[in-house]
Chains A and B, each alone.
Chain A
Amino acid sequence: MSAAAPLPEDGPGWYLYGVAAAEEAPTARLESATAVDPQHPVALVVEGTLAGVTSRVSLEEFDEAALPQRLGDAAWVEQKVRAHEQVLEGVLEAASVVPCRFCTVYRTEAELRSFLAERNEELTRALARVAGRVELGVKAFVDRDRFAAGNNAVRELAERVSQAEGGRAYLESRRLEQLIGQELARFGAEVASALDERLRAAAEDGVLVGLQRPEVSGREEEMVFNGAYLVSEKPRFEQELATLAADFRGNGVELELTGPWPPYNFVPAKLGEP
């Protein structure tokens, strides 16, 4: 291990964005990227076969005691999260990368280097899994009103609701809302399982991600499917997606593609404790 002399505790720390293979990692592209602390440049710390993508950060700013307050500050979070992602996207253009979780900070270069050296084997394995592959996100949305209009059970009940009066009309309309919710959930589950099966076949791996509410997805329609896929042949995956979009459009289902992302969903959550 080629450990540098440890910095004093109050010197800047090392923010780690992700880890790449030393022989692949770009340096030129990184110099123009904006770091989480824009005062410092993004740089590689090469330790053996691995390169940590890092930049210096104020340990006062990222101090564990101060962090809860910073994390409640949406503007602070937005700037840091976007910088974290943009740096990784820059690396991704030239190399495979194991993305780190937001706010992974080492106090000294020596600690960072010793981590890279000790975890070389596990990190190399994680890199091999994502090498030459990207993460793509696929979501499916259903327009609730259109779905309700096309569903027989819903249409029948809606007919009765329109003829009901007074208190019964209220109860029936509550039942109608419930029925739409149930039918939509059933339909959504069917769509999700069919999509996942076919997308997995065009990818190396896939995971289902939590569904988002409309205020998060930014769409009026109900999200019925949210998947992430590890893809090596992007054109083939996109072709399959286009076919699926055409197949499902008739049922009022719309698909949305995001990415390529650094493979956040396809790296181990924990490398294990030292």
Chain B
Amino acid sequence: MSPPEQHALQQQVTLLELVDRVLNKGVVLSGDIVLSVADVDLVYVGLRVLLSSVASIEGERRAPELGSALP
């Protein structure tokens, strides 16, 4: 992987780490607009599309064996 590709991947990874926290943790308030679980799933679907395009930079990757944060 070239340095720019590595950088792009690292950026996405940081984003996912962030998304895991910002979307699934933090206090849920009685706002007028709040996210539902279904909404959160949508974010992951959207990000997965983005992610698969980034992950393909790396070429083939081993299938996961252990647990996962993604649904």
- A residues neighboring B (CB under 8 Å): 13, 16, 18, 62-64, 67-68, 71-75, 77-78, 81-82, 84-85, 98-107, 111, 115, 119, 126, 137, 144, 181, 184-185, 188, 209-218, 220, 222-224, 226, 258, 261-262, 264-265, 267-271, 273-274
B25 touching A111, Cβ below 8 Å: no
Cα A72 to Cα B28 in complex, Å, equals: 21
- B residues neighboring A (CB under 8 Å): 9-10, 12-13, 15-23, 25-35, 38-40, 42-43, 45-47, 49-51, 55, 61-62, 64-70
Q: Which of B25, B45, B55 contacts A265 (CB 8 A)?
A: B25
> Inside 8 A of B20's CB, which chain A residues have their CB?
209-210, 212
Cα A107 to Cα B16 in complex, Å, equals: 29
Could you write out 8 A-B pairs with CB less than 8 Å apart? Answer: A16-B29, A81-B19, A102-B22, A212-B68, A218-B9, A222-B65, A267-B26, A271-B30
A74 touching B50, Cβ below 8 Å: yes
Q: Given the interface contacts A64-B33, A81-B19, does A126 sit within 8 Å of B27 by beta carbon?
A: yes
Q: Which of B9, B15, B47, B68 contacts A210 (CB 8 A)?
A: B68
Which chain B residue shows the least CB distance to A144? B62
B50 touching A106, Cβ below 8 Å: no
Q: Given the interface contacts A265-B21, A271-B29, A273-B30, does A67 sit within 8 Å of B68 by beta carbon?
A: no
Q: Which of B30, B46, B50, B70 contacts A71 (CB 8 A)?
A: B46
A272 → chain B, closest Cβ, in Å?
9
The 9 residue pairs across chains A and B that have the minimum distance between CB atoms:
A218-B13, A264-B25, A74-B50, A105-B33, A213-B64, A211-B67, A101-B26, A104-B31, A72-B46
> Inside 8 A of B10's CB, which chain A residues have their CB?
218
A258 touching B17, Cβ below 8 Å: yes
Q: Which of B15, B32, B47, B51 contacts A13 (CB 8 A)?
A: B32
B22 touching A104, Cβ below 8 Å: no
B31 touching A105, Cβ below 8 Å: yes
> Inside 8 A of B70's CB, which chain A residues have their CB?
212-213, 216
A181 → chain B, closest Cβ, in Å?
5
> Inside 8 A of B23's CB, which chain A residues have their CB?
81, 101-102
> Inside 8 A of B39's CB, which chain A residues have their CB?
67-68, 71, 103
